[in-house]
Amino acid sequence: MSATESTTRKDANDNGMAAKNPGKRRRALLIVTFIFVALGLGWFLLWLFVFSTRETTDNAYVGGNQVAISAQVPGTVVAILADDTQRVEAGQVLVKLDSTDADVRLRQASSALAQAVRQVRQQTDTATGADAAVAARRIDLKKAQADLKRRLPLIAEQAEAPETVQHLRDGVEQAQAALDSAVAQANAAHAAIEGTEVAQNPAVEQARANFRAAWVAAQRNAIFAPVTGYVAQRSVQLGNSVQPGQQLMTVVPLHDLWIDANFKENQLRHIRIGQPAEIVADVYGSGVKYRGKVIGLGAGTGSVFSLLPAQNATGNWIKVVQRVPVRIAIDNKDIEQHPLRIGLSTDTTVNITDDKGPVLAQAPAQQPAAETKVYEQMASKADAEADRIIGENLSSRSTH
């Protein structure tokens, strides 16, 4: 084959390949374009149906009540009945103080209450005796008046001496004076007891109040747990001389916990009270999810309530995105299955699909955030003991 023919064939092959390459490039461009469009559409649908319906933050921590246990009366610690990490029940004794002085004061108050009841009983009997004396003086007066009336006709007939009639008149006046004195004494006797029973007499009520105070003070030498929870931060030691208000330990109830989720201010646009939330705690990982509900948004950013709030009016100012705490209640059933501790880190996601709810609470709370009945039971026991003492000192009256 000549050189001319070889060159001719090579040029023909190059022209054929050149004719085919534009078609391949177009297909490749179409495929690449389709891929980018599909990715963009997928991202848009993902944002529309997923990311735009929720707000997420990892700046969220478990919160709960921390009940400080402190002494209510001064004393010396003689027993510590609970330690860190231990579970305690509401009403359980945590710390005991030396009760010697309190027991003495309680005995004195008990005796004073019994004596007050007996004194009121005595006053009641005195008032009854005064009433009897009034009745006797009335009889004496009537008798003196009858004697005088009977003798007056005899004077007209000069059958009686004038001196006798004068003596009778003096007797009537003396009887009247004795009656007036008896009435005054009866009124004075009734003034102390009138209108009340013995148990409701002011003197008995005063002694009862003193006994109640002494009884409660004696009971406060045993320091009770106001709630069920777990002991933390025990600082009290045997032999410590404690004062009222001095913190001895903390009890943390691990139910009714919440999440303080600190969202950026630009994430709060659609967050509303009542929206559902999903919480993942780092301690259990993504395999355990807690159900929650938004119950309130903070009244200010964290920097406002800090110990040293920011001074934004200074010249060297740099804008920093602020965060606002959003409180989210956790379902107690989930907490029972997977217990949490306060302070644990979480990832919190709020479903903002329905953003028609209120941003701020519209009415005051209808139920207390926390309460205990332990101290009410203590007061009721004091009243029952006072009733027993009063009853014993009243019942002896019927034996005479």
Residue 61 lies in a domain: no
Query: How confident is the model at residue 45, as a pLDDT?
Result: 67
Query: How confident is the model at residue 40, as a pLDDT?
Result: 81
Query: How confident is the model at residue 398, as a pLDDT?
Result: 47
Rg (CA), the chain: 46
201, 234, 251 — which closes off a domain? 251
For residue 178, which phi and psi values (nearest 5 degrees)?
-65, -40
Please give the Cα distance from 400 to 391 (Å, whole number).
16
What CATH number did the domain enclosing 109 receive?
1.20.58
**246 and 205 belong to one structural domain:** no
**pTM across the whole model:** 0.71
227, 251, 275 — which closes off a domain? 251
Residue 345 lies in a domain: yes
Query: How confident is the model at residue 192, as a pLDDT?
Result: 63
Query: How confident is the model at residue 399, as a pLDDT?
Result: 45
Half-sphere exposure of 74 (CA within 13 A, CB side): 3
The residue among 208, 322, 313 whose CA lies nearest residue 268 is 322
Q: Which residues of the chain have pLDDT under 70?
A: 1-20, 45-52, 125-131, 133, 140-141, 144, 147-148, 150-168, 172, 182, 185-196, 395-400
Residue count of the chain, please give it: 400
**206 and 108 belong to one structural domain:** yes
Query: How confident is the model at residue 390, as a pLDDT?
Result: 82
Dihedral sign from CA coordinates of 125, 131, 135, 137: positive
Residue 284 and residue 306 in contact, taking contact as beta carbons nearer than 8 Å: no
**Which pLDDT tens digit goes with each residue over 216-227?**
889 899 999 999
What CATH number did the domain enclosing 354 receive?
2.40.30.170
Q: Which helix (H) or strand (E) holds 25?
A: helix 3-49
**107 and 209 belong to one structural domain:** yes
**181 and 34 belong to one structural domain:** no
Domain count, the chain: 4
Residue 262 and residue 285 in contact, taking contact as beta carbons nearer than 8 Å: no
**14 and 120 belong to one structural domain:** no
**368 and 269 belong to one structural domain:** yes
Helix axes 202-219, 100-156, angle to 10 degrees: 170
Query: Tokens 């009997």 label which residue?
Result: 125
Q: What domain range includes position 336?
A: 258-375
**262 and 371 belong to one structural domain:** yes
DSSP H stretches of helix in 220-364: 332-337
Dihedral sign from CA coordinates of 246, 252, 258, 263: positive
Residue 265 and residue 97 in contact, taking contact as beta carbons nearer than 8 Å: no
What CATH number did the domain enclosing 226 receive?
2.40.50.100
Cβ atoms within 10 Å of 251's Cβ, excluding its own? 24
**124 and 205 belong to one structural domain:** yes
**Which pLDDT tens digit goes with each residue over 111-134?**
988 888 887 777 776 666 666 767
**190 and 273 belong to one structural domain:** no
Please give the Cα distance from 229 to 255 (Å, whole number).
8
User: What tokens does 389 get?
Assistant: 């003492």
